[in-house]
Chain A
């Protein structure tokens, strides 16, 4: 079948621990980056964004770090809760492509109570 050998990277954490989800992006001309959360049976939901002229941005319980040198993005979730269990996608928006979102492969976060 078409999904043979394909799987999402998974991260399993204990409730209350911090989670770090990583993402490599491809386009050095990308201007803007977003983290999305997708729960089962739902569409992606915006979590936090960061512009290319920043290297860190904090939200409520979440922090995004951007390292443009190595084209790497990370999402840190503090005090992870069972409700955080979902698939997390990073997305980049290249400059001057009409706001086109290019999603990364995703990471499945599983929180153990």
Chain B
């Protein structure tokens, strides 16, 4: 199984809502990632978890709150988002954190903030 799954596929939320994005992998990978991708642009790294601990935070606003409850799951909690946060949110995982470990991407959650 080389699959990373993400739910929901699509999400529409208001600026006062609280929602969560979920990501799951069963490959035994110990590094998991959140990326943000705007239309016609490349993915941009947001967070990296390594062995369930936050390893990299790319100066992401606090309205995005990641959580790694166990080695298979990664959540992204959303609160008080802005319309400019509308994007495709991609989750990825790799065997470990490091240059030579291939990152496997999920299909993404397309988020629209109204």
Which chain B residues lie closer than 8 Å to A3 at the CB level? 39-40
Which chain B residues lie closer than 8 Å to A49 at the CB level? 102
Contact with A along B45-59 (1 / 0, CB 8 A): 100101000011000
Q: Closest B-chain residue to A104, C-beta based?
A: B42
Which chain B residues lie closer than 8 Å to A31 at the CB level? 99
- Interface on chain A toward B: helix, strand, loop, or mixed SS? loop
Looking at the complex, which of A11-19, A40-48, A53-61, A74-82 is the stretch in contact with chain B?
A40-48
Please tell me which one of the listed residues B43, B100, B105 contacts residue A45 in the complex, with CB atoms under 8 A apart: B105
The range of chain B's interface size is 20 to 34
In the complex, A3→B99 CA distance in Å? Answer: 32
In the complex, A83→B24 CA distance in Å? Answer: 27
Q: Closest B-chain residue to A44, C-beta based?
A: B105
Task: Enumerate chain B interface residues (CB-CB to A < 8 A).
Answer: 4, 31, 38-45, 48, 50, 55-56, 84, 90, 92, 94, 97-108
